[in-house]
Amino acid sequence: MTQMTDKTIAVVKGLIMDGVAKANSGHPGGAMSSADYATILFSEFLNFNPDDPKWFNRDRFILSAGHESMLLYALLHLNGFISMDDIKNFRQLDSLTPGHPEVHLTPGVEATTGPLGQGFAMTVGFAVAEAYLREKLGSDVMDHYTYVLSSDGDLQEPIALGAASLAGLWGLGKIIAYYDSNKIQLAGPTCQADCTDHKKVFEGLCWHVIEVDGHNHDEIRAAIKAGQLETSRPTLIIGNTTMAKGCATMEGSHKTHGEPLKADEIAATKEKLGLPAEDFHVAEDVLEAYRARFDGMREKADKWQALVEEKMADIDFAAIWEQVNKPRPELSIDWPEFTPGETMATRKAWGTCLDSVMDSLPTLIGGSADLDPSNQTMNFRTTYGDFAIDGYTARNLAFGVREFPMAAIMNGIQLHGGLMPFGATFLTFSDYCRNAIRMSALQELPVLYVFTHDSFWVGEDGPTHQPIEHVSSLRLIPDLIDLRPADAQETKVCLDIAMKQEKMPSAIFLTRQGLPILDPAEYPAVQDGPRKGGYVLKDCDGTPDLILIASGSEVSLALETAKLFKRKVRVVSMPSAKLFDAQPKSYKDEVLPPEVTARAAAEAGRTDYWYKYVGLEGVVLGIDHFGASAPGKTLSDKYGFTPENFAAMIREKY
């Protein structure tokens, strides 16, 4: 065992060095220091189906230290998931081996990682999903570990500790995290930037902590086994390692972090490791030994499949299994009815919608960043309880004041599969979780971000809580659906859009202040128009003389403004610029006829974005400065968000 383990690790290190050298780009040092642990984990402990990298009850492995990607690719090659040609095409265009792992590209990659700390936080989301589904489906159907490999840089990012605090609180005993403590980062020794005693910190966060020599194979095996036996706390294995372990002359050098090894160093290192001089060498006996477990794992997966089919005879199991596996576009959701003419904040409409559908969507799980009453998730929390605190079938995730961990945990839940995550906070705090939102889009994850208090109408809380640039800024993220509904009717359509997405995340922007509920009898397009992003809400006879475009709370302002003109005015509601821009040109020209150049737009945020629709000479009512602490009505008058002022701006131009 020891001799073959050493030989396998040497082969993995050889692939790391050769892959990085051929690409002339990459990070060999950390990958080599982590190779002992990762190779033992994959070859002796990790449970997966060699014929199906997406088998539902597989152990998940997340490489939070995404820069160590060649380590993961080497192991995935030994798994049979990627070819040697893939290894040789490391970091090349259209390859399955990009610079950092990408979940939608490479079989066996569980999460897109690279932005440090987020892989660790996503791991918590994976474990949340596993714990919930284990309770709902039974431990004979859902029972796997979630492993994560982290670096010094991962744990320096505060998101990791925020997520770790929740993992400890929630008692996620199926997490086994490995911290490769090689004490080197890109700029030099970690002591230049960090003095943290991670053993004390994680013990203080209610974790089970084990410290080992990360190059001692017996200690590594014992630590993994101890982590598996600890069921009430997540486990952190601190592996004290040497950067670029095994190198001929560069062990411990920070230069190996992000630079390929030179040819002479690679040659000398291969000789030291007992490898032949040839590039990309994988010995047949290594491959045979590594895959010795495969038949047993195949048999286990087959028995699992047979068990699931047998359990389908149970009506309750079949019902939840159907929900867990149902494609999102096939969901049938009965949304509530709203009374036209009444006034309701769109955040309240969201809460009403959530209350209405939460029983029929048992896979809907989520919560608020300590803003439950404000985000209208309190009734969801009261009804279903706090996850872990009230049992693992409780569906409210009490994230606390942790927006960034919240967003990354949602990504992990979605990546695991089987659940529909949502998270809520104030729009101005979307900045805290922006990079995780970007990672939602990059990973093609249909998570739902609920952002309330979407404009200066927040009022008395003042400029710290009044978003100005946030909606426009989030619209810049590719493949993120922006949803800013005009009223309760549009809110439920926007939520239906978000819930039925397959690949794109959605951010819904909701008001604190009440808005008039539109009457579908007067405005029939409100019932389906939002699905196209922008639509004609109120039209005129023939070709309009003027087009007013608005989103969210400013749609009612546009309708009132239109009444102040005697000429023909069309009012366009645009809850989603992303969805509107994706429509065929014929439809966009139908809504915004090119020959009608007299156009004005209104949104309580940055003006810049709207010139793409009204033209550079068009009129935009917006706000390009910070707000102030005062009642919302006072601020609307001060900033000109009145029908009279909007009409005056338009008359001055047209």
497 and 580 part of one domain: no
Give the CA distances from residue 349 to residues 284, 489, 511, 516, 540, in Å, rounded to whole numbers and listed in that order: 63, 8, 10, 12, 29
Give the span between the Cα atoms of 329 and 607, in whole angstroms.
Answer: 34
290 and 349 part of one domain: no
pLDDT at 162 over 90: yes
Edge-to-edge order in the sheet of strand 60-63: 60-63, 146-150, 175-181, 235-240, 208-213
What is the rounded average pLDDT for all residues in the chain? 97
509 and 535 part of one domain: no
Last residue of a domain, one of 489, 516, 543: 516
The CATH number of residue 644's host domain is: 3.40.50.920
pLDDT at 1 over 90: no
Residue 153 in marked binding region: yes
150 and 267 part of one domain: yes
The pLDDT tens digits for 599-628 are 999 999 999 999 999 999 999 999 999 999
484 and 551 in contact (C-beta within 8 Å)? yes
Residues 427-464 as b or e (16 or more Cβ within 10 Å = b): bbbbbbbbbbbbbbbbbbbbbbbbbbbbbbbbbeeeee
181 and 283 part of one domain: yes
Examine residue 40 and state whether it is found in any structural domain, yes or no. yes
Please give the average per-residue pLDDT across 116-137, as a whole number. Answer: 98
Residue 198 in marked binding region: no
Give the CA distances from residue 593 to residues 544, 562, 581, 618, in Å, rounded to whole numbers and listed in that order: 9, 18, 15, 14
429 and 374 part of one domain: yes
Examine residue 303 and state whether it is found in any structural domain, yes or no. no
Write down the residue that tokens 């929900």 correspond to: 323
Residue 114 in marked binding region: yes
Tokens of 216: 């001692």
571 and 482 part of one domain: no
Give the span between the Cα atoms of 73 and 108, in whole angstroms.
Answer: 9
Residue 182 in marked binding region: yes
Residue 173 in marked binding region: no
488 and 559 part of one domain: no
The CATH number of residue 181's host domain is: 3.40.50.970
286 and 338 part of one domain: no
Examine residue 302 and state whether it is found in any structural domain, yes or no. no
pTM for the structure as a whole: 0.98
Residue 465 in marked binding region: yes
The pLDDT tens digits for 320-339 are 999 999 999 999 999 999 99
Residue 374 in marked binding region: yes
Of the pLDDT bands very low, low, confident and very high (cuts 50, 70, 90), residue 572 is: very high
344 and 493 part of one domain: yes
Count the neighbouring beta carbons within 10 Å of the beta carbon of residue 204.
13
What beta strand segments (E) does 40-95 contain?
60-63
Last residue of a domain, one of 484, 516, 548: 516
Residue in 444, 436, 503, 379 with CA at minimum distance from that of residue 125: 436
Q: How many domains does the chain have?
A: 3
The pLDDT tens digits for 33-67 are 999 999 999 999 999 999 999 999 999 999 999 99
Examine residue 310 and state whether it is found in any structural domain, yes or no. no
Write down the residue that tokens 């929740």 correspond to: 166
288 and 419 part of one domain: no
290 and 338 part of one domain: no
The pLDDT tens digits for 260-297 are 999 999 999 999 999 999 999 999 999 999 999 999 99
Please give the average per-residue pLDDT across 193-211, as a whole number. Answer: 97
Residue 115 in marked binding region: yes
Which residue among 68, 102, 157, 403 is the active-site one? Answer: 403
Count the neighbouring beta carbons within 10 Å of the beta carbon of residue 288.
10
522 is catalytic: no
Count the neighbouring beta carbons within 10 Å of the beta carbon of residue 634.
12
Examine residue 314 and state whether it is found in any structural domain, yes or no. no
pLDDT at 242 over 90: yes
Residue 184 in marked binding region: yes
619 and 472 in contact (C-beta within 8 Å)? no
Examine residue 419 and state whether it is found in any structural domain, yes or no. yes
The pLDDT, as a whole number, for residue 40 is 98
Residue 512 in marked binding region: yes
Examine residue 20 and state whether it is found in any structural domain, yes or no. yes
Residue 475 in marked binding region: no
pLDDT at 2 over 90: no
575 and 533 in contact (C-beta within 8 Å)? yes
Examine residue 309 and state whether it is found in any structural domain, yes or no. no
The pLDDT tens digits for 394-443 are 999 999 999 999 999 999 999 999 999 999 999 999 999 999 999 999 99
Q: Which domain holds residue 428?
A: 328-516
